Each structure stands twice: as C-alpha cells, then as structure tokens.
Amino acid sequence: MKRREDIRGDGALAAGSMCTSEPGTAEAEASPGARKVLSRFSRALVVDDDDTLRRSLSRLLRAAQIQVSEAKTVAEAVDLLPREPELVITDVRLPDGSGRRVVESARQRRPAPMIVAISGLASAGEAFALAQCGARIYLAKPFAEQELLDGIADVSTESRIAPVITNGMGGDFGENLLSFARRYGIPEREMALVRLATAGVPRARCPEMLGISENTCKTLTRRLLQRCGARSLAQIPRLVLLGDSNAADA
C-alpha cells in the first residue's frame, strides 16, 4: 500500500503527496504524470543531509527509472558531479557550507543540468541569489511532490523554447530585469513577483514569500500578465532573460 506524503525539511513527513515506497519493490513505480515529467532525465544527484528527505526524493526519481547519486555535503556533491547528472536537487544549507557552491559547480558542467534548490528558511532574496548562480527552480520546505514536478515541467517547456535558459542566467541579469521593467512599465510591487518567477518559485508560494495575501497576489499577478502580454508567470523568465516580445505567443 502506498503512502502519499509531503516533503518536509525537519526529517519528518507530513500528509500530502510524496510516495515513499522503497525502490526495488512492486510499489516503487512512478505515476504516469511523474514518469512523463521525469522522462528526459537518466541521471540525477540529490544533495541533503536530512536522510529522510534525501531518500524520499531519491525514491521518487528511481521509481521513474533514473539513476540517482546521493550526497550529504557540499564536498560529496562536487565529487559526484563528474557522473554528469542531468538533474541536481540540492539543499541550500549543508553541514560543510552552502549549497550555492553545488549550484555554481553544477552550472559549469556542459551541458549544464537542471538545478533545483530547496531551502528550509526560504526567502525572496535567497531565491533570487540562487537563480543568478544557475538554479532554475527554488522550493521552500516542506513541499509536495507535485510542486517539484510542476516546476520541472515548466522549466522543461521553457528549455525547449529557449535552451540558453538552462545554462543559468548569464550576462547582466540585473540589467535584464531593469530592461524588462522599463519595457513594460512594471511597478516595484509587481517586479517582486517577476523576481520570484524568474527564480523558479512556484506561484502558490509567492504570497508567503512576499508577505502578502493570496488575493493581493492574484491582483498583482493579473496586472503583471496584462502589462507584458504573458499567459502565466511561467512565461516571465523568457521575457526577462531573452527580451523576447513573442514569448507570450510561444
């Protein structure tokens, strides 16, 4: 029998949607949706000193027939990068330093893997800083399996349209943001959403990270999308990074 659970950052598991069946058993089978989203990857690296969390993520990936390497520290993770993982999921705070070093080292690989940063003390500033280093998705603990899958799906679609995005921000990202704000006349409150969207923060997490209500977030999102002609926040990174006015039609 399967247990469906959320992923938490405190070594525990809460009611939600993470399948925790052990690999190698009849239960260790990814859902059709998960298999579809993860089908592009054959190798992955999961970095977290929380054994429960790391193993839960690894089980999800192995159930989708992905070869998974695991690390508990920055040093172990960097040593494993030569195995050429196509997906890297790393905690931000590790026993021997910051996961930012893992992100930066992974980004230097060619081709660069898709990088997911996870944090138990998430903040908008941290998300933005990691995005500049090359992380494409930023998740606050606890997070559900579906949040991870949705983020990967969004970035995968983005990457098919604009492969350059997968190699990190590149160039002067701050200037890209200023150019975007000027081009569409985006006020600062809406630019806060732009920064989170470009940092790979799920839409559902934006209110708590910005300290605003859900209704206020909906209003800001609607205004932002109207200004730049996008259909969703998932289209914002292309508009910012590539300055592509046709992104909304892609």
Tens of pLDDT, residues 96-119? 999 999 999 999 888 889 999 999
Higher-confidence residue of 169 and 177: namely: 177
Mean pLDDT of the chain: 80
- Picking from 93, 100, 162, the residue whose alpha carbon sits closest to that of residue 131 is 100
So what's the pLDDT on residue 98? 92
d(C-alpha 162, C-alpha 157), whole Å: 9
pTM: 0.74
Confidence of residue 162 (pLDDT cuts 50, 70, 90): very low
Higher-confidence residue of 223 and 6: namely: 223
| Domains recognised in the chain with CATH numbers | 4-167 (3.40.50.2300), 173-249 (1.10.10)
So what's the pLDDT on residue 219? 95
Tens of pLDDT, residues 46-89? 999 999 999 999 999 999 999 999 999 999 999 999 999 999 99
So what's the pLDDT on residue 173? 66
